[in-house]
A and B are shown apart, each in its own frame.
Chain A
Amino acid sequence: MSPFIVGGSQEALENEIADLELRLQKARDRLATSKTGPGHPGRQPPPAIPSEPSSSSAHHYLLLLSDSALPLGSFAFSSGLESYLAHTRRRGGPSITSSAAASASSFSSFLPLSLSSYASTTLPFVLAAHRDPTPASVAALDDMQDAAVICTVGRRASVAQGRALLSIWEKSMASTADPSASLAPYAELLRSAPKREGGGGEPPAAHAHLAPLFGAVGALCGLALRQTAYVFMLGHVKALVSAAVRAGLFGPYQAQRILAGAEVQGLLAEVIEREWDTPVEEAGQSVPVMDLWFGRHELLYSRIFNS
């Protein structure tokens, strides 16, 4: 039913049942309204806001979290695309001009690499945080991911977006979605942690990496595990495609064609399946050159992105 669900897991079925029940309820309401006749004010009182995230509110949050207007600042990052372009142009020699076909093909070879790399390094942390969104677990995952992000540029991108997500959650979403404020202890830990590590001292206790926070927020909003993983990975694709448009690789129609295409859908499903059971301890880089491109982004003479 829901287009966001891939595969036929139990969760998918549960979501479908919840969705069908919701539609049944709505149909009954409409029936009741029509029975009361035209003389009656034809509106039911709106349903009270549920205190626990139900399937309907989960759907609502799913749309919010997948919205490209979610102010995470993702637009500032190209996830290595800008550096990749600079490096491949150099290797290809000056003969390759930026013809539309060449740009599109260079993006289409970057996209699967980037997806695979992002999934193998990051997705296990999203999944683990969704499976256990307690503050202690999120803090442990956050610290573990901090140890695994081995380049400055990648860390900057992950932490900037993670901090933005936590701010949105705390300032805007948590009061409705999670009245018990279950992430608050983690936010407190982050605030109390020193910003930069002192000379030779231990690294700070919390960093606010995006992946564990996204998993926890997804869980607290009532999103299913697979939905959360899918939205997270789709967000990465959307950010990449948008960066490609702004880098002048292709225009908005081509961008939407890539997003809507079967290739992206297939890749998303496959990388999520691949990382479904990967323990966070075994997450790692599946595309080693990505580390080089990422790390060398700092060497670009001119750049329009932060990563």
Chain B
Amino acid sequence: MLSPFPKSSCLAGEGRIVVKLSPNNVSALESIAYQYPLKLISPASAAEQGSVLIFLLSYGGGLVAGDQINLSIDVQPNARLSIVTQGHTKIFRSVTPDIVTRQNLKVDIKDGAALCLLPDPVQPFESSIYEQVQIFKLTAGASLCLLDWVTQGRTARGENWSLGRWIGRNEVWTAPGSEASSSKGRLLLRDAVILDGATRPTGSPSLRESMHGNAIIGTLILRGPMTKSMGAFFLAEFAALPRLGARDFRSAELREKEEAIPQSPFERWRARRLQEERDKQVLWSAANVRGCIVVKFGATTVEAARNWIGTMLIQEGSIERDFGEQALMCVR
């Protein structure tokens, strides 16, 4: 009989998740293991939701200096996994710059399988030192939806990009042997952000100044057949953004006439979103990089960014359809 408690592994911060498709065509956990300070919870009731849901947590809701988390995830053919968090991942301050807090994530996704990783943003406190490396190996038919975002810190305590160092790196590789040409696997995408608050060239702006008023910056990476429509949606919405510096050459009457035409619900949604983007100064761009769609965004408040990414993902709808609405709980 299965133990009600997940097995523990022996190394601090180590964790492993294996998800497979059970014979009745439902994604199921094959194994889950973790060790302090990492904590993984999988609510049992999620079977009909379309994907296995796992909460990625840490004891006390954050990582103190020197904490290391090494999580490896295996999503077997045709299985689906969603990972979320409960609140911001807080990174506490380091006493000296050589004490580094790390999170390493290694993920293998097989054909027909998919991972949806939409966590809350990372919140680095003043003088925190943090490095995060997330490596995804995908076979040709595998899918990935990854959100990685970082905030300015605890605004209530006056923090505004007061962190010591924050490095986030996301890599997407083709799985070894999945393509005839490469036996080792090929790097498709490497997205790296290096925020260094401490050692900056003299005369150059501080980290805070260099963020130009953004309270949060983020990256969304999409790859694989299951994210195809989502990727197309982001590219199309980006292409449809109003031109910067454009002028409205329509006459007043023509404008009135055109505004009188009733809008479709989608047009209304877009108009509302564009108004939000203007008001909250949400800046974003989308590009196709070697078959991966990379969306970069920044906003003047954390909530604006959350609302923006949320409304985009919910409006398009494929995440909710393929993974269940639980996968979106951090972006609502």
Interface residues of chain A, those whose CB is within 8 Å of chain B, are 83, 86-88, 90-91, 109, 112-113, 115-116, 120, 143-144, 146-152, 155, 197, 200, 202-203, 263, 266-267, 270-271, 274, 281-289, 291-292, 294-296, 298-302
Counting from the closest, the 6 A-B pairs by CB-CB distance are A295-B285, A284-B192, A112-B204, A301-B243, A270-B201, A301-B246
Give the residue among A83, A144, A295 with the most B Cβ atoms within 10 A.
A295
B285 surroundings in chain A (CB, below 8 A): 151, 291-292, 294-296, 298
The answer to whether B194 touches A285, judged by C-beta atoms less than 8 angstroms apart, is yes
Q: How far is the CA of A260 from the CA of B191 in the complex (A)?
A: 34
Q: Are B290 and A296 in contact (CB under 8 A)?
A: no
Residues of B within 8 A of A302 (CB): 245
Q: List the A side residues contacting B209 at CB < 8 Å.
A: 109
| Interface contacts beyond A148-B192, A289-B214, A301-B246: sample of 12 additional A-B pairs, CB < 8 Å, sorted by A | A90-B244, A109-B209, A148-B190, A150-B294, A152-B287, A202-B179, A202-B182, A274-B201, A287-B210, A292-B285, A296-B284, A301-B247
Asked if B291 and A203 sit within 8 Å, CB to CB, the answer is yes
Instruction: Please tell me if B196 contacts chain A, counting CB pairs below 8 Å.
Output: yes
> What 1/0 mask marks residues of chain B from 287 to 298 whose CB sits below 8 Å from any chain A CB?
111110010111
B175 touches A (CB below 8 Å): no
Residues of chain B in range 296-320 having any CB-CB distance to chain A below 8 Å? 296-298
Say whether, besides A150-B191, A152-B287, A200 and B169 are in contact (CB < 8 Å).
no
B193–A86 CB distance below 8 A:
no
Contacts of B287 in A (CB 8 A): 150-152, 295
10 A-B residue pairings within 8 Å (CB atoms): A112-B201, A116-B210, A202-B182, A287-B210, A288-B211, A295-B285, A296-B285, A299-B242, A299-B244, A302-B245
Across-interface contacts of B179 in A (CB, < 8 A): 202
CB of A112 within 8 A of CB of B205, answer: yes
Q: Are A282 and B203 in contact (CB under 8 A)?
A: no
| A89, closest chain B residue (CB) | B245
Inter-subunit contact A288/B217 (CB<8 Å): yes
The residue from A87, A151, A289 contacting B211, defined by CB atoms under 8 A apart: A289
CA–CA, A115 and B201, complex, Å = 10
Q: Tell whether A147 pairs with B190 under 8 Å between CB atoms, given A284-B169, A289-B210, A302-B245.
A: yes
> Is B3 in contact with chain A by the CB < 8 A criterion?
no
State how many angstroms separate the Cβ of B191 from the closest Cβ of chain A: 5
> In the complex, are the beta carbons of B212 and A289 less than 8 A apart?
yes
Contact partner of B194 among A120, A289, A298, CB < 8 A? A120
Closest residue of A by beta carbon distance from B169: A284
Q: Give the nearest-CB partner of A204 in chain B.
A: B290
- Whether the Cβ atoms of A113 and B289 lie closer than 8 Å is no
- Please list the residues of chain B having a beta carbon within 8 angstroms of any beta carbon in chain A: 140, 167, 169, 174, 179, 181-182, 186-196, 199-205, 209-214, 217, 241-247, 281, 283-291, 294, 296-298
Q: How far is the CB of B157 from chain A (nearest CB, A)?
A: 23
Contact of B193 among A274, A284, A294 (CB under 8 A): A284
Secondary structure class of chain A's binding surface, majority of residues: helix
Q: Are A112 and B203 in contact (CB under 8 A)?
A: yes
Cα distance A17–B217 in the bound complex, in angstroms: 49
Instruction: Establish whether residues B296 and A292, one from each chain, have CB atoms under 8 Å apart when the complex forms.
Output: yes
Contact B213 A109 (CB under 8 A): no
List residues of chain A with CB within 8 A of the CB of B203. Answer: 112, 263, 266-267
Query: Cα distance A295–B179 when bound, in Å?
Result: 30
The answer on a CB contact under 8 Å between A147 and B194 is no
Taking the nearest CB of chain A, how far is it from the CB of B277, in angstroms?
A: 12
A147 and B188 contacting across the interface, CB-CB below 8 Å: yes
**B140, B217, B289: the one within 8 Å of A149 (CB):** B289
Query: B188 contacts A116, CB within 8 Å?
Result: no
CA distance A287 to B196 in the complex (A): 10
Taken together as a complex, chains A and B put the C-alpha atoms of A88 and B245 apart, in Å, by 12
Give Cα A146 to B214, complex, Å: 27
- Kindly provide the distance from the CB of B66 to the nearest chain A CB, expressed in whole angstroms: 21
For B288, the chain A residues whose CB sits under 8 A away are: 152
Q: Which interface residue of A115, A270, A274, A289 has the most chain B CB atoms within 10 A?
A: A289
Do residues B205 and A296 form an inter-chain contact, with CB atoms below 8 A?
no
Q: Is the CB of A288 within 8 A of B195?
A: yes
Judge whether A284 and B194 touch: CB under 8 Å: yes
Q: Is the CB of A300 within 8 A of B204?
A: no
B201, A202: Cβ atoms under 8 Å?
A: no
Contact pick for A292, options B189, B194, B247, B283, CB 8 Å: B283
| Cα-based distance from A202 to B292 in the complex (angstroms) | 11
Taking a contact as CB atoms closer than 8 A, the residue among A91, A263, A271 that contacts B281 in the complex is A91
CB pair B190 A144 closer than 8 Å: yes
